[in-house]
């Protein structure tokens, strides 16, 4: 039993206790124990050492305790310090690497943007960004040579197409004019009239073919770049007026259901050609006493007409010189022109045939 208990002033994580032993003798011992801590409101681990000391002929019982929490806190502190230093180093390395790489690749990105913006139909020369990096210099040099050659080839092909178009149109116009004069001759036999009519029809067909192929080439070469804000409802209403007589002649019923105003960005000339071709097809490939319905809203234009089933899949009719039926009047270029105009305007077009109805959907 310990009497006359004394406690020295020690740090919070340590304690020394000395007590009288009386006649009881204990051997020295070192062990771990849990002691309740008032500040922490929990039991904390301590390492303690007990031994017996003799002072002035008295046996003394001494207990020295040292908190083990300090070591755990130290390990935890070292761990988090190293972790923070590691994260800071990683962040600094990644940031520095990003800035360096960004600076190194900046000329390449500028050149890439110039390639994206480059157009053969434009007048601006391709000029890559200046750089001191040898590899990028070589790349820019080769790109400049390539774009210069391609531009020259494009301009040569364009000039050839324009010259050929002009030179072909002139003799065709002369042939048509001469044939019209011959038709006016009074002494022509019926046989000669039939032969001349065949020649005249062939000349007209060739002139129309030349015109449509030239238009397709110009559309594919992106020569129609100017886009304006267009009231699509007004455009369609004006086109419908042009087809009124033909619609009445074929005894067709044409109805237009449209929102008040539908505005889109586009080239008015090309959109006029596109809807003219669609209306012309809807009339030409219709049946007697048939119908044409046009539904127009803010997101799409749907043209539906009665008609017989095409002989080939509808998707193939978008290709050049594809026809749904053998017709000497049709060149098979109308829908391919429509398809190219949709591509220029980033429109989506669907052609469906179901239940004796042709449906053309244009999403803008």
Burial pattern 14-32, b for ≥16 Cβ within 10 A else e, equals ebebbbebeeeeeeeeeee
More confident residue, 15 or 196: 196
Residue 139 CB neighbours (<10 A): 16
Residue 123: per-residue pLDDT: 65
d(C-alpha 51, C-alpha 120), whole Å: 98
Residue 217: per-residue pLDDT: 80
d(C-alpha 106, C-alpha 131), whole Å: 9
Give the model confidence (pLDDT) of 108-158 as tens digits. 888 888 888 887 766 677 788 788 888 888 888 888 888 888 888 888 877
d(C-alpha 286, C-alpha 347), whole Å: 25
Phi, psi of 13 (to 5 degrees): -95, 5
Straight-line distance from the first to the last Cα atom of the chain, in angstroms, rounded to the nearest whole number: 98
Residue 209: per-residue pLDDT: 82
Question: pTM for the full model?
Answer: 0.57
Judge residue 174's burial from the number of C-beta atoms within 10 Å of its C-beta, 0-12 exposed, 13-18 middle, 19 or more buried. exposed
- Enumerate residues 6+ apart whose C-beta is below 8 A from 54: 60
**34-43, 183-192, 291-300, 306-315, range with the lowest pLDDT:** 34-43
Q: What whole-number percentage of the chain has pLDDT above 90?
A: 27
Residue 318: per-residue pLDDT: 84
What is the dihedral sign for C-alpha 248, 233, 217, 363?
A: negative
Mapping DSSP onto H, E and C, the string for the chain reads: CCEEEEECCCCCCEEEEEEECCCCCCCCEEEEEEEEECCCCEEEEEEEEEEEEEECCEEEEEEEEEECHHHHHHHHHHHHHHHHHHHHHHHHHHHHHHHHHHHHHHHHHHHHHHHHHCCCCCCCCCCCCCCCCHHHHHHHHHHHHHHHHHHHHHHHHHHHHHHHHHHHHHHHHHHHHHHHHHHCCCCCCHHHHHHHHHHHHHHHHHHHHHHHHHHHHHHHCCCCCCCEEEEHHHHHHHHHHHCHHHHHHCCCEEEEEECCCCEEEECHHHHHHHHHHHHHHHHHCCCCCCEEEEEECCCEEEEEEECCCCCCCHHHHHCCCCCCCCCCCCCCCHHHHHHHHHHHCCCEEEEEEECCEEEEEEEC
Give the model confidence (pLDDT) of 217-255 as tens digits. 888 777 787 789 999 999 999 999 989 989 988 899 999
Cβ atoms of 290 and 304 closer than 8 Å = no
Cβ atoms of 45 and 68 closer than 8 Å = yes
Q: What is the maximum span of the chain, computed from C-alpha positions, in angstroms?
A: 164
Query: If you average pLDDT over each of 69-78, 156-165, 302-311, which comes out highest?
Result: 302-311
d(C-alpha 325, C-alpha 311), whole Å: 6
């Amino acid at each position: 039993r310990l009497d006359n208990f004394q406690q020295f002033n020690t740090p919070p994580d340590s304690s020394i206790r000395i007590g009288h032993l009386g006649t009881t003798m204990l051997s020295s011992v070192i062990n771990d124990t849990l002691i309740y801590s008032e500040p922490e409101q929990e039991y904390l681990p301590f390492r303690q050492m007990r031994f017996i000391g003799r002072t002035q002929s008295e046996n003394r019982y001494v207990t020295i305790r040292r908190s083990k929490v300090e070591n755990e806190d130290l390990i935890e502190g070292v761990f988090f310090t190293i972790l923070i230093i590691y994260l800071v180093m990683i962040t600094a390395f990644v940031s520095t690497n990003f800035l360096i790489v960004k600076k190194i690749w900046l000329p390449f990105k500028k050149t890439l943007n110039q390639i994206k913006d480059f157009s053969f139909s434009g007048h601006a020369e391709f000029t890559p960004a200046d750089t001191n990096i040898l590899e990028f210099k070589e790349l820019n040099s080769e790109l400049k040579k390539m774009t210069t050659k391609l531009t020259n080839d494009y301009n040569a092909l364009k000039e050839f197409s324009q010259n050929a178009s002009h030179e072909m149109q002139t003799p065709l116009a002369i042939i048509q004019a001469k044939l019209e004069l011959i038709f006016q001759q009074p002494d022509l036999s019926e046989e000669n009239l039939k032969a001349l009519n065949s020649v005249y029809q062939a000349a007209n067909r060739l002139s129309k073919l030349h015109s449509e192929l030239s238009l397709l080439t110009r559309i594919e070469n992106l020569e129609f770049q100017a886009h304006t804000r267009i009231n699509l409802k007004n455009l369609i209403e004006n086109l419908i007026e042009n087809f009124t007589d033909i619609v009445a002649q074929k005894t067709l019923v044409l109805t237009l259901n449209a929102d008040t105003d539908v505005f889109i960005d586009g080239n008015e000339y090309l959109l006029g050609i596109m809807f003219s071709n669609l209306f012309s097809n809807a009339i030409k490939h219709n049946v007697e006493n048939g119908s044409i319905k046009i539904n127009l809203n803010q997101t799409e234009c749907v043209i539906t007409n009665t008609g017989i089933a095409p002989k080939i899949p509808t998707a193939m009719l978008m290709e050049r010189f594809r026809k749904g039926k053998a017709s000497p009047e049709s060149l098979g270029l109308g829908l391919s022109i429509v398809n190219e105009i949709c591509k220029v305007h980033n429109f989506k077009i669907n052609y469906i045939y179901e239940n004796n109805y042709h449906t053309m959907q244009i999403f803008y």
